[in-house]
Structure 1
Amino acid sequence: MLVKNNYKAIFFFLKHLWIDLFLIILYASIITTIDLYTYLHLLTIPLSITTVTGTIVALLLAFRTAQSYDRWWEARKVWGEIVNESRTLIRQVKQFFPTEDPDNTVAEFANRQIIWCYALSESLRKQAFSVKVQNYLDAEKISANNIPSKLLTKHSEQLKKASHNLKLDPIKQAQIDSTISRLNDSMGKCERIKNTIFPRSYSFLIHFLIYVLASILPFGLDDIFPFTEVAIAIIIPVILLAVEETAIIMQDPFENRPTDVPMTALSNTIENNIMEIITDEKVEIIAKPKSFYIN
């Protein structure tokens, strides 16, 4: 997630636009130059046509941007739920289980929940598991196609075993199981967002219409001031392309990019909170990277 407006953030954005920017500048410059020295200026397109095209593009972009932000915001809300439910789970386990815990159940739940958060974030980004996660999986001999789901299953298995050994109240057991189920629901929501692709045809249509507008715009402008004409013919399409690119970047919040939902930072927060719950001591917050974004 972007947290600073510096030159690195600007360069990150421009690197997605530089080809389109180059083509539009080249086209506008060539058309204006030819217009000055030939009879091309006799070819005019009514400004009303350009206005209608621009209005259509603006309406489509407004819908596209709203839908993309909705996907990003839903992803952020889901991870907010994960933060809350992770705290709730460990608090319930600590409060409901007896103080005498020979199997160290609370610590195992806490450690597994921390690993679950990191494993989920890395799975959504399709990254190789970090050393921390992989070491845990190797130590516990856990192997599955869906590691986060397997870890939640381990939660349920240990809850069943501990409830039998520690004679846990059935109502309290049901409450803990309900929290695990809500974590599973949150994981499913993340997977739905990740696996639902925004329609490519819609993106192609908007991009095509922006280029149509860029193509006809120079022929609908006044030819009295050529440099002004070039500037307008460049600025308007570039602004529309920038809005479109913003929507494209936001529509996939789990792609390991600076604009993603900061799942790693949220997992760090969860780890910090869980350790404070089980130790009753203040835990030092992990320092944030000195970058223009947090991931």
Structure 2
Amino acid sequence: MGISDLAFLIINFIKTLKATTMLVKNNKSSIVFFIKSIWVDIAAIITYALVIGTLDHNTILREIAIPLPITSIMGTIVGLLLAFRTAQSYDRWWEARKVWGEIVNDSRTLIRQTKQFLPDSDSELKEFAQRQVIWCFALSESLRKIPFSKRVGSYLEQHYIKANNVPAELLNRHADQLALVTKKFGLNDNKQVQIDTTIARLNDAMGKCERIKNTVFPKSYSLLIHFLIYLLTSILPFGLEDSFPAIEIVLTIVISSTFIAVEKTAIIMQDPFENSPTDIPMTALCTVIENNIKEICSDTVIPAIQTDSYYYIN
């Protein structure tokens, strides 16, 4: 592997590391999660490098020599595939984060519109606000495919809500209530359309999250990259300079481990709704939404959540 190829790999790894740092910021559990996900591969690489590196200088294996251009070409191919894979994975993660940013904004907008257009109805405002908060938590729990929390379950039971898609049903309840208050308060068409448009945007955001959740990376693509990394690891000791055994072993470990770390980072980022420490911080965002809605409804300052919990899952 030439200097330019190694430099390309290092630059790509640094970019990926920056992305990973944003994912795991202020969250020690995510660092532990990442280490646990790669330690088996790293242990295998270290074992292979030590065994082959030793045999390569003391047995007939020293006669095996793979031309450096072959190793360089293989390393370049793997590096390019990993760069492409990492970029795609980060795009998915970032799209999911942007969608939840839209949910935060539209949740605030919905309650602000309800408060302004229905100024004499605290009960109607409270009902919209409570349902919107439950919708946010229900959506996050549905995307993670975990049982509904006690709070969400209690609300669903209290309001007799049973559906395969609970978040969608909650938005339907928003629309039903909007139709009722339109008649009750004589809401003009312009105001009704504005509120309905906000509900429609929330529905669109939910659909985007479901699309990201249900669209998976081709398994064959992941297997191909993983196979190529191990193929490169297998030939690497025979393509490096044999004059310094220790350096050969260290380079084999470092280069192969870097590839594995980049690959695992891409795998982690490609699924932002898997209830892992590197998820989109949906629970924390839901809490932010709840605090904002309470402030809008009560016109009082609500204490902000702790910064550390922003990136914590449950």
Q: Is the counterpart of residue 63 in structure 1 residue 84 in structure 2?
A: yes
Which residue matches 2:155?
A: 136
Q: Which amino acid aligns with 1:158?
A: Q
| Cα distance in structure 1, aligned partners of 2:191 and 2:66 | 73
> What SS does the corresponding residue of 2:301 show, helix, strand or coil?
coil
Which residue matches 2:174?
A: 155
Which residue matches 2:260?
A: 241
Could you list the runs of 5+ residues in structure 1 that have no partner in the other structure? none
Q: Could you tell me how far 1:13 is from its partner in structure 2?
A: 1.4
Which residue matches 2:312?
A: 294
Q: Which amino acid aligns with 2:257?
A: V
> What SS does the corresponding residue of 2:208 show, helix, strand or coil?
helix
| Cα distance in structure 1, aligned partners of 2:238 and 2:126 | 71
| Cα distance in structure 1, aligned partners of 2:75 and 2:259 | 9
Q: Could you tell me how far 1:171 is from its partner in structure 2?
A: 0.9
RMSD: 1.4
- Alpha-carbon contact 2:27-2:277 (below 8 Å) kept: no
Which residue matches 1:54?
A: 75
> What SS does the corresponding residue of 1:268 show, helix, strand or coil?
helix
| Cα distance in structure 1, aligned partners of 2:120 and 2:102 | 31
Structure 1 residues 118-174: Cα deviation after superposition (integer angstroms, max 9, x where no partner):
000000000111111111111111110100000000000000011001100111001
Structure 1 residues 216-273: Cα deviation after superposition (integer angstroms, max 9, x where no partner):
0000111111111110111101000100000000000001111110000000000000
Dislocated runs of 4+, deviation >4 Å: 288-291
Q: Is the counterpart of residue 75 in structure 1 residue 93 in structure 2?
A: no
Could you list the runs of 5+ residues in structure 2 that have no partner in the other structure? 1-22
Which residue matches 1:284?
A: 303
Note the 1:155-234 alignment, pairs <5 A: 155-234=174-253
Assess, with a 3 A threshold, how the Cα gap between structure 1 residues 202 and 184 changes in structure 2: closer, same or farther: same
| Cα distance in structure 1, aligned partners of 2:260 and 2:230 | 9
- Alpha-carbon contact 1:3-1:294 (below 8 Å) kept: no
Note the 1:40-119 alignment, pairs <5 A: 40-97=61-118, 99-101=119-121, 104-119=123-138
- Alpha-carbon contact 1:85-1:183 (below 8 Å) kept: yes
Which residue matches 2:5?
A: none
The number of residue pairs the alignment matches comes to: 291
Q: Which amino acid aligns with 2:312?
A: I
| Cα distance in structure 1, aligned partners of 2:249 and 2:160 | 65
> What SS does the corresponding residue of 2:267 show, helix, strand or coil?
helix
- Alpha-carbon contact 2:30-2:278 (below 8 Å) kept: no
Which residue matches 1:20?
A: 41
Q: Which amino acid aligns with 1:3?
A: K
Once the two structures are overlaid, the 10-residue window that deviates more, 56-65 or 13-22, is 13-22
By percentage of residues, which structure has more helix?
2
> What SS does the corresponding residue of 2:163 show, helix, strand or coil?
coil
| Cα distance in structure 2, aligned partners of 1:180 and 1:10 | 38
Q: Which amino acid aligns with 1:264?
A: T
| Cα distance in structure 2, aligned partners of 1:192 and 1:100 | 39
- TM-score, structure 2 normalization: 0.90
Q: Could you tell me how far 1:284 is from its partner in structure 2?
A: 1.8
| Cα distance in structure 2, aligned partners of 1:182 and 1:157 | 16
| Cα distance in structure 2, aligned partners of 1:11 and 1:167 | 57
Identity %, equivalent residues = 59
> What SS does the corresponding residue of 1:15 show, helix, strand or coil?
helix
Which residue matches 1:39?
A: 60
Q: Could you tell me how far 1:12 is from its partner in structure 2?
A: 2.0
- TM-score, structure 1 normalization: 0.95
Q: Is the counterpart of residue 124 in structure 1 residue 143 in structure 2?
A: yes
